[in-house]
Amino acid sequence: MNQVSSSKKAIQEFRDVGWDTLLEDVTLFCDKNKVEVVNMEDAYYNGISRRRGSQVNNLHHYKNDVFYEVIDMQLQELNHRFNETNTKLLIKTDMQQQVWSAHFQQ
């Protein structure tokens, strides 16, 4: 169960402080491979109409609408699959497994 807790903490920490590092890594990768990088201060267009204008810039879209959304979905899925009841059950099952293993190894 330590793995679930540590995974949740790592994902939350990545959400809290990982954006700048991710953006830097992606930019370096794109520069190295001659892939054009959008200007994060430019207005974001969703591909439908440029005439309508945009309420957000690329930075807001990729950070809030993509990065945070994906991280939040991952955390929600972990919390759903490993809720308190499931976690307690897994811990008890693991403890029982350890007792049985110790008993039969003697």
pLDDT greater than 70 at residue 103: no
Q: Can you tell me the distance from the alpha carbon of 69 to that of 48, in angstroms, rounded to the nearest whole number? A: 21
**pLDDT tens string 54-64:** 689 999 999 99
**pLDDT tens string 7-54:** 888 999 999 999 999 999 999 999 999 999 999 999 888 777 666 666
- 31: number of Cβ within 10 Å: 11
Give the residue-averaged pLDDT of 85-104: 70
